Amino acid sequence: MTTPTRVLVLNSGSSSVKYQLLDMRDTSRLAVGLVERIGEDTSRLKHTPLAVEGAETREFEGPIADHAAALAAVAAELAKDGLGLDSPELAAVGHRVVHGGKYFTVPTVIDDAVLKEIKRLIPVAPLHNPANVMGIEVAMELRPDLPQVAVFDTSFHTTMPESAARYAIDVATADEHRIHRYGFHGTSHAYVSRETAKLLGKAPAEVNVIVLHLGNGASASAVRGGRCVDTSMGLTPLEGLVMGTRSGDIDPAVIFHLNRVAGMDIDTIDALLNKKSGMIGLCGDNDMREITRRMNEGDDSARLAFEIYVHRLKKYIGAYSAVLGHVDALTFTAGVGENSTAVREAAVAGLEGFGLAVDPVLNETRADGARLISPPAARVAVAVVPTDEELEIATSAYALVRG
């Protein structure tokens, strides 16, 4: 009998499912794809079978009613390439689960009790955990015999000391309602901080790293010797850096003001801060490529948005330098961090006093893998490390099921 070596990674959102099938012998991708606009008439499935020589991406548009139908469609696509979910070569399904609270500190094989706890966290993750639960339940129905592993966005941050993880509010109220700084993007921060250590030729335990995960959502973390000691997102992914559509840090009294003075109800304010703020609120665009293009053409609102974005980044770099005391590396990752030379240059400009500098040529040089962009003599390494949350989920899930 063959030893199963494949892991299917599922990232289920409220109206989408992203997936990758990996072969863990060499961590190669056998297939990748996504289903979007689930529940609408114009749902879309995009499937790329990488394992099949010469096979092309297949796309379909049409109604896909729910997550069960979406996963059935994905299974059918995989089966066409001989990669079906009924294959004995499948070792596990790894699920991205956004909120694991304080309880899930490591990837966990899902049983009824685990599923119940993930559901119990829905009040603190109302947008994400219900979709994650749907993905898990559908996958369990499809292959009840297969280990299903939950990998939580919050786990990496459970090592934060109470001093960083607690808000300074009434303790009894905080405890009763589980109001706590949980942090998110943990799989990325874990993977990228480890890869940064590798790039420096050291063990994770030997280095202190500040990771800037700058995608549409954005967060910073301070990682001391491989353990997270602070992160910028909190109870929800709204806190911290300026993001594509989220405000990041604001005075909470802005909310009272919008309610009492501007007459907005709480759901309107929620949508304003999560969906209509950040870069889109400031300048009407949330894609950093478009923002830098406009800025270079002399657009003032794009420039101001960029400056606000960078100012917040600098504040977190400074804060986390102080939290860590000694910094070995500052690492940029995710869509903006990996690609925007302008953001990297501006975020580090003027921080020579912190030992931080970017070499302009290295910063401009495009490359696929992890790389240093600081001058060779710099006191603190500045790195670009492509994140790979799917690989991290697959690796964790596979390690767990293989023992």
Q: Which stretch binds ligand ADP (CB under 6 A): 249-257, 258-266, 330-338, 394-402?
A: 330-338
- Whether residue 20 contacts residue 394, with contact meaning beta carbons closer than 8 Å, is answered with yes
Q: Are strands 218-224 and 208-214 parallel, antiparallel or unpaired?
A: antiparallel
Residue of 80, 275, 289, 402 that binds ligand ADP (CB under 6 A): 289
Write down the least CB distance from residue 180 to ligand ADP, Å. 23
Opening angle at CA 212, ends 211 and 215, nearest 5: 135
**Residue 107 to residue 392: CA distance in whole angstroms:** 11
Minimum CB separation of residue 241 from ligand ADP in Å reads 12
Question: Which among 81, 153, 328, 388 is annotated as catalytic?
Answer: 153
Length of the chain: 403
At residue 172, what is the residue type?
Answer: A
Active site residue 153: yes
Measured from the CB atom, is 293 or 311 closer to ligand ADP? 293
The reply, when asked if residue 18 is annotated as ligand binding, is yes
Rounded least distance, CB 280 to ligand ADP, Å: 10
Q: Give the residue, chosen from 219, 340, 374, 395, that forms a contact with ligand ADP under the rule CB under 6 A.
A: 340
Residue 359 marked ligand-binding? no
Using DSSP, state whether 97 is helix, strand or coil: strand
Does the annotation place 217 within a ligand binding site?
Answer: yes
User: How far apart, in whole angstroms, are the C-alpha atoms of residue 314 and residue 189?
Assistant: 18
Residue 287 touching ligand ADP (CB under 6 A): yes
Closest CA to 70 of 30, 34, 98: 34
Sheet (strand 90-97) strand order: 58-61, 44-49, 28-36, 17-23, 6-12, 90-97, 148-152, 108-109
Among 33, 49, 217, 240, binds ligand ADP (CB under 6 A): 217
| Residue 167: Cβ-neighbour burial (10 angstroms; 0-12, 13-18, 19+) | middle
Report if residue 334 touches ligand ADP, rule: CB under 6 A: yes
Residues sharing a CB contact under 8 Å with residue 225, sequence separation 6 or more, in sequence order: 204, 205, 206, 207, 208
> Quick one: which segment of 13-21, 281-289, 362-370, 374-382 binds ligand ADP (CB under 6 A)?
281-289
Q: Does 131 bind ligand ADP (CB under 6 A)?
A: no
The span from the CA of 253 to the CA of 250, in Å, is: 8
- Residues 237, 213: contact at Cβ < 8 Å? no
302 burial level (CB within 10 Å; 0-12, 13-18, 19+):
buried
Q: Is 336 annotated as a binding residue?
A: yes
Residues 236-255 touching ligand ADP, rule: CB under 6 A, are 244
186 binds ligand ADP (CB under 6 A): no
Q: Which is nearer to ligand ADP, 6 or 96 (CB)?
A: 96
Q: Which stretch binds ligand ADP (CB under 6 A): 175-183, 283-291, 296-304, 352-360?
A: 283-291
Q: Which of 288, 305, 313, 329 binds ligand ADP (CB under 6 A)?
A: 288
Q: Which residues are annotated as a binding site?
A: 11, 18, 96, 213-217, 287-289, 335-339, 389
Residues that are catalytic: 153
Query: For binding to ligand ADP (CB under 6 A), which residues are involved?
Result: 215-217, 244, 286-289, 334-336, 339-340
Q: Which residues are annotated as a binding site for ATP?
A: 18, 213-217, 287-289, 335-339
